[in-house]
Amino acid sequence: MILNIDQRSEAPLYLQIRDQIIGAIARGELTPGDALPSVRSLASDLGINLHTVNKAYAVLRDEGYVLMRGRSGAYIADPCDDDRADTAQAALARMEDDLFELALAHRARGGSRGAFLECAAAQATRAYDILDRPEAARSTSMDKASKRGLRSAREESGGLLQGDASSTSIATGTAGTAKA
C-alpha cells in the first residue's frame, strides 16, 4: 500500500497514518501477518518525527489492528470476533440505507409498496436458493424474473403481496424437499 500524509492538513499526522492503515486492511491491501515497516524506517521515509509514528502504531495496537513484537516489529493482527460483530453491524446499517434508497427511488417512479416488497422478497429467495440449490435457483430465478417483468408491466397497482408471499413459500418449500 502507499501511505500518503500531509503535514499541513488539519488532521493529526498519527491519525492520518492510522486511518490509512485501517483502510488498507479493509480493502485487503494489508492482510493479517503482513509486516509494517519499523517505526524509525516509516518516520524516516515520511520525513516526520519518530514519536508520531510511534503514536500511530500504539493506537493501532490498542485498537487491535496491529501486534507489536519488540520495538521494531509490527504486524497486522488477525481480525477478532469483536471486529466481525462491528463489521456485521455496519453492514446491516449499510444494507438498510441501501434498501431505503431503493424504496424511495421506486416510490419516486410511481411504484407501489407491494411491488417493492414483492421484488425484494423475490431477490431474497433468489439469493438464498443460490446457497441451497445453485442450478435450480438460477433457472427458476431467471424465468421468475422474466415472469415478474411481464407481470409488473401488466399490473402496476398493488394487492400482490399475498401472491408474492405464496410464491416465496413455494420456492422455499421446493428447496426444502429437494434437500430432503
Partner 1 sequence: MDAPSFLFIAYGFLTSLVFVLGMLLAFMPYLMRRQECFAVTIPAAAALDPYLRQLKRRFALIMGALTLVLFAIALLLLATGADTEWDGLDWLIPSADAVLLVAYYLLMLFFRRKVQAYKQEQGWSAASQRSSAIIGSEAVSQISLRWNLLYLLVMVATLIAGILCYPAMPAMIPMHIGFDGVVSDWMPKGPAVIAFPMVIEGFMGACFTLCHWSINRARKWSDPNAPATSALAYGLYARAWNIYLLAFGLLLSASIGTLFLLSALGIASLAVMGAVLFFIIIFMVAGAIGLSIVYGQAGSRVFKRMHAPKGMPEDDDEHWKGGIIYFNPDDASLFLPERFGIGWTLNWARPAAWALVVGFIILTAGFVGTIFILVG
Helix (H) or strand (E) segment spanning residue 68: strand 66-69
The neighbouring-strand residues paired with 74 are: 36, 68
Kindly tell me which residue out of 3, 22, 67, 121 binds partner 1, with binding defined by CB under 8 A.
3
Kindly tell me which residue out of 18, 25, 42, 144 binds partner 1, with binding defined by CB under 8 A.
42
Contact between 72 and partner 1 by CB under 8 A: the answer reads no
Contact between 34 and partner 1 by CB under 8 A: the answer reads yes
Pick out residues in 45-64 that bind partner 1 (CB under 8 A). 45-50, 53
Could you give phi then psi for residue 66, rounded to 5 degrees?
Answer: -135, 140
Q: Using alpha carbons, select from 126, 128, 84, 119 the residue that is nearest to residue 99.
A: 119
Contact between 110 and partner 1 by CB under 8 A: the answer reads no
Min dist. Cβ of residue 180 to partner 1 (A): 49
Nine-digit cell string for 82: 469483536
128/35 Cα distance (integer angstroms): 39
Min dist. Cβ of residue 69 to partner 1 (A): 17
